Structure 1
Amino acid sequence: MDTVGWIVLVVVALIVVWAVAQYNGLVRLRNLVQESWRQIDVELQRRHDLIPNLVETVKGYAAHERSTLDEVTAARAAAAAPGSGPAEQAQQENVLTQALGRLFAVAEAYPDLKANQNFLQLQQELTNTEDRVAAGRRFYNANVRSLNTKVETFPTNLIAGAFGFHREEYFEIVEAARQVPGVQF
């Protein structure tokens, strides 16, 4: 084999090594995105599990506020339904957050409820869970950004297209859900 043959062989070998490295990087990022979404899912499930207890506690004090309690229950059921992607899940969580805001507004009218230890503990747990969801959302969205950047930039997009890697959805909340409901104790 002459010098030109060796040069061609080395160039081809370098291209193959580069392609394998890019493919492995895309797989790593895709797995990281999936893992971070599973963590958000765990925190959302924790949130969904707390809500029935909160609703039951409020029911004892505010039985005539049935429509608000029904809204929270329906929103929780929709948000807890399996199989939705990040965009759909975010929309369902926004509806649930708004319903919870109305529930806490109802609680304002009941001084005994606001002083109830069970209610206060559930409210604190829900607040802690919301913080963990927010942290998980930031981690997930950072991983999605990294993956999407690799999928869209040249020359990695050639590998991504050839092996079926695609952009992932961000987990975003709408502006109305960002506003914390005013609750005074």
Structure 2
Amino acid sequence: MVALIVIGVIALVALIGLVVVYNLLVGKRQMVRNGWADIDVQLKRRANLIPSLVETVKGYAAHERQLFEEVTAKRAQAQQAGDDAKARGAAESELSRPVGKLMAVAEAYPDLKASDNFRQLQEELSDTETKIEMARRFYNGAVREMNTLIESFPSNLVAGPFGFHQAEFFEIETSERALPDVDFGGTA
């Protein structure tokens, strides 16, 4: 009788442990999904700003047609990359290169730099880049926590059978996505 009670207590403790670990894994997975959704919102915001920026610069720099086409093509590729963090990061890095060139081209046109529309677009794009960076840090932190939990004992015993898999980190090469510094002060 005592052995049966001991077995029952051990089974109950194991069941409670299983439920606790499962719920921890579900919580971490939700944090990863939430983090990805935040990144996706900011990347879509950036993708929506780019056509306005291109059209604004086009009026001043008509001879930069190849650059405009490259920005448009890279934007389409980034949008088609979907929710695969690795593919999306690579596509967004590729998009950052021509956008950086576009901003540099704009530097050569004083009338464009003085345009309120261009300044507003540039400020929104810069603000969006900052928000992407913050969302990326949150997402990567959530991925790190979930991946650690998936690999740690005893949660690794629960993760595999219940279909929890490691998530990919989201990386954009920061040196390539930095916008050029622009001085609107007019000092030479």
TM-score (norm 1): 0.94
1:72 aligned partner: 71
How does 1:100-119 map onto structure 2 within 5 Å?
Answer: 100-119=99-118
What is the distance in 2 between the residues matched to 1:32 and 1:84?
15
Alpha-carbon deviation of 1:129? 0.7
2:37 aligned partner: 38
Deviations 1:82-130 (A, max 9, x none): 6341111111111111111100111111111111110000000001111
1:108–1:184: 8 Å Cα contact kept in structure 2? no
What is the distance in 2 between the residues matched to 1:162 and 1:76?
39
How does 1:30-179 map onto structure 2 within 5 Å?
Answer: 30-81=29-80, 83-174=82-173, 176-177=175-176, 179=178
How does 1:18-29 map onto structure 2 within 5 Å?
Answer: 18-29=17-28
2:81–2:91: 8 Å Cα contact kept in structure 1? no
1:97–1:177: 8 Å Cα contact kept in structure 2? yes
Over 3 Å counting, the alpha-carbon distance change for 1:69 and 1:175 in structure 2 is same
Alpha-carbon deviation of 1:5? 1.2
Aligned residues: 184
What is the distance in 2 between the residues matched to 1:176 and 1:154?
38
Structure 2, gaps ≥5 residues long: none
Question: Percent identity of the aligned residues?
Answer: 49
SS at match of 2:160: helix
1:19–1:159: 8 Å Cα contact kept in structure 2? yes
TM-score (norm 2): 0.93
What RMSD, in angstroms, separates the aligned Cα atoms of the two structures? Answer: 1.4
What is the distance in 1 between the residues matched to 2:82 and 2:25?
24
SS at match of 2:131: helix
**Counterpart code for 1:75:** K
What is the distance in 2 between the residues matched to 1:104 and 1:37?
27
What is the distance in 1 between the residues matched to 2:133 and 2:36?
12
Alpha-carbon deviation of 1:71? 1.1
